[in-house]
Amino acid sequence: MKKLSILGSTGSIGVNALDIVAKHPDKFQIVALAGGGNMEKMEEQIKRFRPELVALMEPESVRRLKRSLPGSNTRILSGMEGLMAVAIHPEAEMVLSALAGSVGLLPTLAAVRARKTLAIANKEPLVMAGEILQQEARDWGVCILPVDSEHSAIFQALAGNRKEDIKRLILTASGGPFLHTPVEKLAKVTPEQALNHPQWRMGKKVTIDSASLMNKGLEVIEAHWLFGVPAPQIEVLIHPQSIVHSMVEYIDGSVVAQMSIPDMRGPIAYALAYPERLDIKLPSLNLFEIGKLTFSPVDPERFPALSLAYQALKEGGTMPAVLNAANEVAVEAFLQGALGFSQISHLIRQTMARHKPIEQRSLENIMQAHAWAKHEAKQMIDRGAL
């Protein structure tokens, strides 16, 4: 029986993870859950999984939740303090880090320092502080298991092979809803169009990131830190069917790919039960029905965000944190109608141009760069400086 804490239990990854847990009560027990603002969903999860501890962001949601669960044995905390307590819960053996965005950095790091096996879906902590996270994981002897479908695919394709035999990692990208939209029309696309992803059902932030391909950019940085492969050996291919989730090419020319129908329960289950595989009752992959798998290069004019991510990784230090912070501000502004879709990458580029990266080593440097970039990007939007 594996005891689990979940950071981000009310989001898309969290809900899918709990679906797997519910179907395998002999394998997993939930000890702590942290969610964002969705009080109703958290109430359901408390009744169903009876965790010892839960956390919600807003103190007001905590008060309302306590009122609606009289006599419950579950402790309920709020804010960052709550997230940290869920991350380091003494009974948890594994923490699923599945919060959205940079808010997950401190609790994810806390879980590593508390020697929890880390299943990581929240890519921003790795993008912002991959060097620190990997160093701490080595220091504490902690295993980090990827949940992101591409990284799970690479992890699976690496099994039984030697790292020094890797020639390159090939990440696949569906291309999102704007793969065939004329480039000049991208400036005018709406949040509703951007949220309509052809293959995956995900949270809003990652769906917009998928439409701009910034998601793939963040994943290149994530792959660099997870697998210790330099950026020039990480490539991205457009693969609209989302069947091949990623590939590893070895020095002898062999390419190992991992395939499945696009369903996040696959990679989530693989990380939760690793090294075991669970029968999660997904439909079999039917290659006859799919007929053909296609691959094409990324058009840098259509998807400038991807080049920005490579640039941030190359410049190193605090630059990926700045890229990520500017992107968080840009996506939020786009969803609120304050920024056009094409301006997302403009804003990121301008924010990066104003930053001189310093070494990543201290968390303080990263938090400062993150706060600075958020402020700078917001100011540029307010000034209409794009």
Which spans of this chain sit near Mg ion (rule: CB under 5 A)?
148-150
Q: Whose CB is nearest to Mg ion?
A: 148
What's the closest the beta carbon of residue 223 comes to Mg ion, in angstroms?
Answer: 10
Please identify, using beta-carbon distances, which residue of 199 and 311 lies nearer to Mg ion: 199
Please identify, using beta-carbon distances, which residue of 131 and 148 lies nearer to Mg ion: 148
- Bridge-based pairing state of the strands 244-250 and 255-259: antiparallel
What's the closest the beta carbon of residue 363 comes to Mg ion, in angstroms?
Answer: 25
The first and second tokens of residue 194, run together, are: 């951007």
The first and second tokens of residue 297, run together, are: 């290069």
Instruction: Specify the long-range contacts of residues 378-385, CB closer than 8 Å, at least 24 apart.
Output: 378/329, 380/347, 380/350, 380/351, 381/329, 381/333, 381/338, 381/339, 381/347, 385/350
Strand ranges inside 174-326, DSSP E = 234-238, 244-250, 255-259
What's the closest the beta carbon of residue 164 comes to Mg ion, in angstroms?
Answer: 26
What's the closest the beta carbon of residue 95 comes to Mg ion, in angstroms?
Answer: 19
Please identify, using beta-carbon distances, which residue of 124 and 148 lies nearer to Mg ion: 148
Please identify, using beta-carbon distances, which residue of 148 and 332 lies nearer to Mg ion: 148
Taking the C-alpha atoms of 15, 19, 25 and 30 in order, what is their torsion angle to the nearest 10 degrees? 0
Please identify, using beta-carbon distances, which residue of 21 and 213 lies nearer to Mg ion: 213
Amino acid, single-letter form, for residue 205: K
What's the closest the beta carbon of residue 238 comes to Mg ion, in angstroms?
Answer: 14
What's the closest the beta carbon of residue 278 comes to Mg ion, in angstroms?
Answer: 20
The phi, psi pair for 114, rounded to 5°, reads -90, 10
Strand ranges inside 260-347, DSSP E = none
- Bridge-based pairing state of the strands 244-250 and 166-173: antiparallel
Please identify, using beta-carbon distances, which residue of 31 and 244 lies nearer to Mg ion: 244
Torsion over CA: 375, 304, 234, 158 (sign): positive
- Rounded CA-CA distance 44/382 in Å is 40
What's the closest the beta carbon of residue 145 comes to Mg ion, in angstroms?
Answer: 15
What's the closest the beta carbon of residue 306 comes to Mg ion, in angstroms?
Answer: 13
Please identify, using beta-carbon distances, which residue of 148 and 249 lies nearer to Mg ion: 148
Cα 170 to Cα 150, 154, 245, 295, distances in angstroms: 9, 8, 9, 11
Please identify, using beta-carbon distances, which residue of 246 and 365 lies nearer to Mg ion: 246
